[in-house]
Amino acid sequence: MINARNTAVKILKQVLYNNAYSNTVLSMYLNREDLSKKDRALVTEIVYGTLKYKYTIDSILGSFIKSNLKKMDVDIVNILRMSIYQLRYLDKIPEFAVVNEAVELSKKRSIKLSKLVNGVLRNYLRNKDNFIREDKGNKIDRLCFKYSFPHWITELFITQYGESTGESILKNSNAVPKITVRINSLKAKYEQVWNELKKNGYDVEKGIVCKEAVVIKGGSNIESNPLFRKGYITVQDESAMLVANLMDIEKNMIVLDLCSAPGGKSCHIAELMNNTGKVYSYDLYENKLALVKDNAKRLGIENIICNKMNAERYAEKLSGTADRVLIDVPCSGLGLIRKKPEIKWNKDQQSIDSLIKIQRNIMLNSSKYVKLGGKLVYSTCTLNKMENGENIKWFIKKNPEFKLEKLDYGDFGNIIYHREGYMTILPNDNVDGFFIAKMIKYR
């Protein structure tokens, strides 16, 4: 148990203090350290749970610790954080075990600080009923504490979407995500893969939105499954699958994907074209393009061509060459919080404002690559309207040769179809938050 919790402490340090991605560093440690299946599950639970509820946990710790948490030993702070998470949000671990394990972990760092850990946790247990807090403070403060979001994100969602929808976004962004896979039509049929997954002991259900989606509700690591290794399936959220499905892809097209890594959408487009035409996948970094190449090779895709390019810089050679241009632009990622809870803590309003300039530069350049009658598709994994609808309105005003095409994929409850034609997908138990707009160059 101590080994598992010690691993969790190391991962939290990397994510919260070294800006590492939770999924990447968690995978690295789980593959590197000798942990049982039970301990691997515990580490995953503790890491994601602590990141998810950090705001609430830190608010509670602030009631018992006089010094600034930012000035304390980071390992001790993370031991306290993950212990409060277990005591407050998990009921399968006895309280005495949580406290004892925390104290033992702390002793390895400092005997003196282990006494602080013991005192804080026991003080919390004596006073835990005082931390309901749903009826205290103003509306934003209550929501911040209840759903564990920083003030600026809470205010952004409530201001942009209204109190009811905004609170729903906060709640659903804390949902435990399921794994969804896309069946590769180049190699397999849906029924074939479905039966094979069930035969291998996976608990599966059909996708909610996309016909090529299978939701994995339970089973072993999907990436170690032979179906994945053979390229019959690839992991992709249904919101991301919608992008290629809405691009009106036809065989033998020329398609540019300007921000392509790790290649999920490029590969989906190539599959829809049945390995005809050309998909030019660009990215700023060679190492990220390697991921696109690896995915394409595994999936048996032969019509993807990868090249390094900065999408903010205009490339004359691409002018008027593409039937479709996809720009899945760098964004704040506020729709992905259920999978990457550290987004709550490593983003701020200033960093988002700087992203908007990048997004608009990419839009202006990419529009010049579209043929007459071709289409430009803009997508993000954020819910911030300034990065989404406001960018589209700005672009159309500057580029009247483009007009929005109305998107409609059916009624799924969590999809907002805006009167301008673009769509916002709100996060829920099944899908990430997303935004998609499609524009045709009509003159």
* Residues making up the binding site: 259-265, 283, 328
User: Within a 10 A sphere around the Cβ of 111, how many other Cβ atoms?
Assistant: 9
- Torsion over CA: 328, 44, 174, 221 (sign): positive
Under a CB-based contact definition with an 8 Å cutoff, are residues 47 and 13 in contact?
no
The DSSP secondary-structure symbol of 426 reads: P
Under a CB-based contact definition with an 8 Å cutoff, are residues 406 and 378 in contact?
no
Under a CB-based contact definition with an 8 Å cutoff, are residues 104 and 111 in contact?
no
Active site residues: 381
Residue from 30, 23, 24, 27 nearest 7 by CA: 30
Distance of CA 168 to the CA centre of its chain: 17
Q: What DSSP line would sit under 101-155, residue for residue?
A: HHHHHHHTT-HHHHHHHHHHHHHHHHHGGG---TTSS-HHHHHHHHHT--HHHHH
In this structure, what token pair is assigned to residue 341?
């809870």
Residue from 169, 244, 215, 213 nearest 433 by CA: 169
In this structure, what token pair is assigned to residue 327?
């720009």
User: Parallel, antiparallel, or unpaired: how do β-strands 370-380 and 434-441 relate?
Assistant: antiparallel
Residue from 397, 213, 239 nearest 328 by CA: 239
Binding-site residue positions for S-adenosyl-L-methionine: 259-265, 283, 328
Q: Could you give the residue ranges of the DSSP H alpha helices within 219-342?
A: 226-229, 238-245, 264-272, 286-299
Q: Using alpha carbons, list the distances in angstroms from residue 96 to 45, 202, 421.
A: 19, 35, 56
188: burial class by Cβ within 10 Å (0-12, 13-18, 19+)? middle
